[in-house]
Structure 1
Amino acid sequence: MPSMVDELVFSEPSRRIGLVFLCGALLLAGQQGYYVIVKGATPFYGGLFLIAGMALSGIAESLPKSQRRAAGALRLTAIAVLVSLLVIGFVTPELFSA
């Protein structure tokens, strides 16, 4: 009987979802770059974590179906990045305030 982790994390990648994640990461990176370069604002570190997590998820979903283990490893890495965002937010919330 397959476990829930095997079904969710190591399932076949979906190209549509990967495209959505990659476009979202690109939009967030463009927004971050605009405010830092053009407006001279300080970078929002929470946004950098979101960009990294979404990009890793997008890359994981863009892999061929034969590379399910690599996709699963990238998904787990993306989850770790996003969970670390939550942990840092609880430990040092002043890092994310402007």
Structure 2
Amino acid sequence: MSFNIRDIVFSEPSGGLYPIIQFTISLFLLVFYVYYGILLDVPSLNLLIMAVGFALAGAAEFLPTERRRTAGVLRVSAILLLIGLLALIVFAPEILFRG
């Protein structure tokens, strides 16, 4: 059973409950970002980056089935954004955690 990354990333958007869950997670992360950033005056860039990543992935799954390439670009963007967040946490945590 072999698979190709291109077939997985550029597959048809799934729709259904999956994007709703991703947008809900993104909304919660944005609420936490506002709570920590505005009310507690603690910068939390990592929450904002995760919220945007989940929103991009959710948007990819909400697209019509014939928009495979656009969904793939949104998925790749979300993956790169979240990998970039992991790289920041590992190699430059002082950028994210200036508290």
Fold conserved (TM > 0.5)?
A: yes
Match of 2:83 in 1: 83
Q: Provide the C-alpha distance between the structure 2 equivalents of 1:11 and 1:43, rounded to a whole number of angstroms.
A: 37
Q: Provide the C-alpha distance between the structure 2 equivalents of 1:59 and 1:22, rounded to a whole number of angstroms.
A: 8
Match of 2:32 in 1: 31
Q: Are the aligned partners of 2:10 and 2:72 in contact in 1 as well (CA < 8 Å)?
A: yes
Match of 1:92 in 2: 92
Unaligned runs of 5+ in 1: none
**What do the CA deviations read for 1:7-52 (whole angstroms, capped 9, x no partner)?**
210111122211111111011101211222233x222111111011
Scaled by the length of structure 2, the TM-score of the pair is: 0.86
Q: Provide the C-alpha distance between the structure 2 equivalents of 1:25 and 1:87, rounded to a whole number of angstroms.
A: 20
Identical positions, percent: 35
Question: Please, what is the CA RMSD of the aligned residues?
Answer: 1.6
Q: Provide the C-alpha distance between the structure 1 equivalents of 2:85 and 2:36, rounded to a whole number of angstroms.
A: 21
Amino acid at match of 1:32: Y
Match of 1:43 in 2: 43
Q: Provide the C-alpha distance between the structure 2 equivalents of 1:14 and 1:43, rounded to a whole number of angstroms.
A: 35
**What do the CA deviations read for 1:45-74 (whole angstroms, capped 9, x no partner)?**
111110111010011011010101100000
1:3, CA displacement in angstroms? 5.0
* Matched length: 96
Q: Provide the C-alpha distance between the structure 2 equivalents of 1:26 and 1:52, rounded to a whole number of angstroms.
A: 10
